[in-house]
Amino acid sequence: MIETRPQKTQERALLIGLEKQGVSKWDLQDSLDELRELASSAGAKVVDTVTQKLPKPTAPYYIGRGKAESIKDSCQDQQVTSVIFNDELSPAQGRNLENLFARKVLDRTQLILDIFAQRARSREGRLQIELAQLQYLLPRLTRMWHHLSRQTGGIGTRGPGETQLEVDRRRVQERIARLERELEAVRKTRAIQREGRKRHQWPVAAVVGYTNAGKSTLLNLLTGADLVAEDKLFATLDPTTRSFVLPNKQRVLLTDTVGFLRKLPHTLIESFKATLEEVSEADLLIHIVDLSHPRVDEQMEAVDGVIKELDAYGKQTVIVFNKIDNLPNRELAESYTKRFPGSVAISARTGEGVNKLVQTLEEALGSWRLRSRFRIPATESALIAEIHRVGHVLELRYESNDAIIVAHVPPDLAQKLERYAEAS
């Protein structure tokens, strides 16, 4: 007789959002739609969504006590196994809600961490996820130890959540310190790799964008890479760098990065510095935008916000409006390319417009083949810092009170530095 393993029951999730002061119900609905996609990406079935309008979250339950009681009844009626909040909960709120609901309670941060834990494949990615999970876990030890001990796995309990149940605060802190040391070694390795690229003087273009905008699909098309490209959030997590030769025979290195997100947890940005610093070190940013998404402007703003947090703002950027094959007509694409001069509208899935994109990249990277030499007063520290941030510094030394810099710089910055230029 052949034994069959029982199939794992799909988790049934209930989503909760708060319409706080200063947040419109439309913004809340869009955020909840994204939370629904995140929950589905994590493997849950969303059975209901509940919202409440309050000036600000309450200290005990985040939502009102009466609303919490009604949700408790709804959980029983709909056989809910997980309750997911759209914002981050405090340790006390999470503990109180789990006691009341007798269900697993997650917040947006914990849900994203769970998805990352599922998708990480490389050793570096797993180190970064474990670090982020432990940093999230540390202030919640009392709640987590008590409640996770009687859970059976699933969303929010993958990775360190299920392997660190009986460690105390000191041991968690020791593990965090060890992970930080290992990731520092990763940063040093990446720095050595970048120095090797600089010796070849190959420009590096970082492909950035909102999650599920089509970054991996475009990289596969341009370079023949075999990256996972699925229609779901955070389908790929580990960064990939591939070489691409432009028609003018110039070689460029294209680096795929983890997708950005509104409300991207700060702990994730900190933990993924070893990966995301590829963005701050890149010579050019290729910002992929899903033009078919109804909240395209908000997604672009979210990406810009993360780029600023990574201290990569001001870099030469080519905006690529993707998924034009999903548009009912091309008027929207035309309006956005006019609104953002130098941008390109493409379909990475069908290949439409990609030749124009390659031509645009060739033009954008043309300036990087020219070496420029500048003599800048050492007192102009902000200007020197900008050259480091958006340029490609090949040589730096100080003479008297001046900084002598040899670098590749984008056209806008070259024009700004024109009065400091010297013959090479």
pLDDT tens digits, one per residue of 103-161: 899 998 888 888 877 776 667 778 877 888 888 877 776 544 444 444 445 666 555 54
Task: Say yes or no: 105 and 253 in one domain.
Answer: no
Strands of 218-281, DSSP E? 240-245, 251-256
- Half-sphere exposure of residue 315: CA atoms within 13 angstroms, side-chain side: 33
* 190 inside domain: no
Give residue 355's pLDDT band: very low, low, confident or very high (50, 70, 90). Answer: very high
Are 374 and 344 within one domain?
Answer: no
Q: Of 90-104, 203-217, 237-251, 410-424, which one has max mean pLDDT?
A: 90-104
**In this structure, is residue 169 part of a structural domain?**
no
pLDDT of the residue at 270? 64
Residues 384 and 355 in one domain: no
What is the pLDDT at residue 331? 92
- The pTM of the full predicted model, rounded to 2 decimals, is 0.71
Considering the domain architecture, whether residues 333 and 375 belong to the same structural domain is answered as no
Task: Dig out the tokens for 254 from the structure.
Answer: 């294209």
Find the radius of gyration of the CA atoms of the chain: 24
**Does residue 379 share a domain with residue 344?**
no
Mean pLDDT, all residues of the chain: 80
Report pLDDT digits (tens) over 43-69: 899 999 999 999 999 999 999 999 999
Number of domains in the chain: 3
Same domain, yes or no: 390 and 356: no
Q: What per-residue confidence (pLDDT) applies to 229? A: 47
Residues 14-38, mean pLDDT to the nearest whole number = 86
Residue 18 and residue 62 share a domain = yes
Report pLDDT for 275. Answer: 61
Whether residue 183 lies inside any domain: the answer is: no
Instruction: Tell me the range of 121-130, 301-310, 374-383 where mean pLDDT is highest.
Output: 374-383
Q: What's the pLDDT at 201? A: 61
Tell me which of 115, 147, 163 is where a domain ends: 163
Highest mean pLDDT among 11-25, 262-276, 367-381: 11-25
Q: Mean pLDDT across the stretch 301-311?
A: 84
For residue 354 the two structure tokens come to 């990609």
Distance CA 129, CA 133 (A): 6
Residue reference for tokens 């940005």: 269
Residue 90, CA atoms < 13 Å, CB-side half-sphere: 10
User: What's the confidence (pLDDT) of residue 128?
Assistant: 77
Residues 158 and 238 in one domain: no
- Checking if the pLDDT of 40 tops 80, the result is yes
pLDDT score for 237? 54
Are 121 and 151 members of one domain? yes
- How open is the CA angle 62-265-348, to the nearest 5 degrees? 125
- CATH code where residue 357 lies: 3.40.50.300
Per-residue confidence at 352, pLDDT binned at 50, 70, 90?
Answer: very high
Domain identity same for 49 and 158: yes
| Cα–Cα distance measured from residue 91 to residue 109, given in angstroms and rounded to the nearest whole number | 13
What mean pLDDT is predicted for residues 17-23? 86
Domain boundaries, position 209: 201-366
Orientation angle between helical segments 273-281 and 123-137, nearest 10 degrees? 120
Query: Does the structure show a pLDDT above 60 at 198?
Result: no
228 has a pLDDT exceeding 60? no
Do 362 and 375 lie in a common domain?
Answer: no
Where among 108, 143, 163 does a domain terminate? Answer: 163
| pLDDT for the residue 152 | 47
Average pLDDT over residues 253-266: 73
What are the structure tokens assigned to 277, written together? Answer: 């610093």
- Same domain (yes/no): 141, 250: no
